[in-house]
Amino acid sequence: MTTDTDRTPHHAQDHDGQPDPYASARETTEGRVYTVTGGDWDAVLEDATHDERIVINLGPQHPSTHGVLRLVLELEGETVTEARSVIGYLHTGIEKNTEYRNWTQGVTFVTRMDYLAPLFNETAYCLAVEKLLGVEAPRRAQVIRVLLMELNRISSHLVCLATGGMELGALTAMTSGFREREEVLHLLEFLTGLRMNHAFVRPGGVAQDLPEGYRERILDFIRVMDSRLPDYDKLLTGQTIWHKRLRGIGYLPLDGCLQLGITGPVLRSAGLPWDLRKVEPYLGYEEYEFDVPTATEADCFARYLLRVEEIHQSLRIVRQCLDKLEPGPVMVENKKIAWPARLTIGPDGLGNSLEHVRRIMGQSMEALIHHFKLVTEGFDVPAGQVYVPVESPRGELGYHVVSDGGTRPMRVHVREPSFVNLQAMPAMCEGGMVADVIAAVASLDPVMGGVDR
């Protein structure tokens, strides 16, 4: 029971012992609760008291803010004099949640961060776990991972083109982009069982082998994309309005990119051919032939062209994957790590088919106990920490994973490219028109599930 005196506000103290004006506190039955106020936001509003300038909110519900991004813009007429991004509306605590699940279950969390590139999150996380374990996925599993990631890169770039067109009024670009993305998602559903959030890549390999007829389905998809991609050049690339809305807009030169830590198509649009698949190859990318497109204009139009060309390059890699898919296992042989690669997936999608149950139950009691412990507790991972980056559709996606030697991660922290790239928004927008903010943010292609996570 609390008394009135328990509710008396207290002021938190800073390191000098002085009261903190921004963090008052009160005592409750659950302990002390702090109320934090944002002094800098108050100052921004106080600055804009004269008649010529106005502060507006763009979002977090505005369709041009890619979901739940809030932009606070100070305008003088239609010119942006100051721009700030406010994030956190989609915070899910995924990094923290992984600490309460075993290493394999962590895949189902991380795949939901950047929900437009789930397979990149799964692969980077699993590469980090495998590095801690000191194991390497079999050759066939590595090729399958590359195949799935490049298909995922195509679908992600198509969403960027579609939503960017929609936000600038090119609704046909939106319908075309999502039509092609559906082709990719149908193919991923055939290959992995799910359109998104697949949890298909597992530590040690992949969940199961590709289904029968995969080669024909992938070749059919490549033929469809080859026939439809030229339409984007007819619809957008040579379009006068598209040129005027994007050329010279959202300019961010190379030195600005390097100072802000920008990666991905935004960095390559400024002239630096930095692509981790080339400079720090993983999963055998050094064996594949593909180009890293670059530009020097460093504007929204250059980023649009780069993403279209990267779709073509991903299709090149997918073709090569089909030639490299040699027969073999898709999960490491170590029985203390591998599950459930050799299952026959039942109607429930969980591997509880009669054939699987007969095989497990028909072995020794020790085998049944081992399987039960592997599924419920998971496997131990040696103590240590690693950082493993991959090249996602938005740039360097890195996983810093720490193990204390147990069956669960001690810490999983993600270097998420959308989060880092969003820093560039003020540099790209301030001094320009408010209408150009939309094009600049769209060219960054931020995914708020990755920013907030």
Residue 67 dihedral angles phi and psi, to the nearest 5°: 100, -110
Is residue 336 pLDDT above 80, yes or no?
no
Q: What is the DSSP letter of 407?
A: S
* CA 237-241-242 angle, 5° bins: 35
Q: How confident is the model at residue 54 (pLDDT cuts 50, 70, 90)?
A: confident
- The DSSP code sequence of 79-148 is EEEEEEEE--TT---HHHHGGGS-TTTHHHHHTTSSTTSHHHHHHHHHHHHHHHHT----HHHHHHHHHH
Answer positive or negative: Cα dihedral of 364, 369, 375, 380. negative
Q: List CB contacts of 305: < 8 A, sequence separation 6 or more.
A: 237, 293, 295
Q: What is the DSSP letter of 236?
A: I
- Residues 89, 71: Cα–Cα separation, whole Å: 12
* 226, burial (CB in 10 Å: exposed 0-12, middle 13-18, buried 19+): exposed
pLDDT (0 to 100) of residue 4: 43
Is residue 150 pLDDT above 90, yes or no?
yes
Instruction: Check if the beta carbon of residue 299 is closer than 8 Å to that of residue 251.
Output: yes
Q: How confident is the model at residue 341 (pLDDT cuts 50, 70, 90)?
A: very low
Is residue 7 pLDDT above 70, yes or no?
no
- Residues 148, 192: Cα–Cα separation, whole Å: 9
Q: How far is CA 78 from CA 49, 252, 281, 390, in A?
A: 17, 21, 45, 40
Q: How far is CA 249 from CA 144, 162, 317, 442, in A?
A: 38, 18, 31, 11
Q: Could you give the 3-state DSSP secondary structure of residue 279? A: helix
Q: List CB contacts of 230: < 8 A, sequence separation 6 or more.
A: none
Is residue 353 pLDDT above 70, yes or no?
no
Q: How confident is the model at residue 49 (pLDDT cuts 50, 70, 90)?
A: low
pLDDT (0 to 100) of residue 18: 62
Residue type, position 174, single letter? M
Q: How confident is the model at residue 37 (pLDDT cuts 50, 70, 90)?
A: low
pLDDT (0 to 100) of residue 314: 93
pLDDT (0 to 100) of residue 389: 93
Please report the domains of the chain, with CATH numbers, ordered by start residue. 1-37 (no CATH), 94-338+372-452 (1.10.645.10)
Q: How confident is the model at residue 450 (pLDDT cuts 50, 70, 90)?
A: confident
Per the DSSP assignment, residues forming a β-bridge with 203 are none
Is residue 401 pLDDT above 80, yes or no?
yes
Is residue 39 pLDDT above 60, yes or no?
no
- Residues 158, 193: Cα–Cα separation, whole Å: 21
Q: Residue range 206-231: average pLDDT?
A: 90
Is residue 50 pLDDT above 70, yes or no?
no
Instruction: Check if the beta carbon of residue 431 is closer than 8 Å to that of residue 78.
Output: no
Q: Could you give the 3-state DSSP secondary structure of residue 444? A: helix
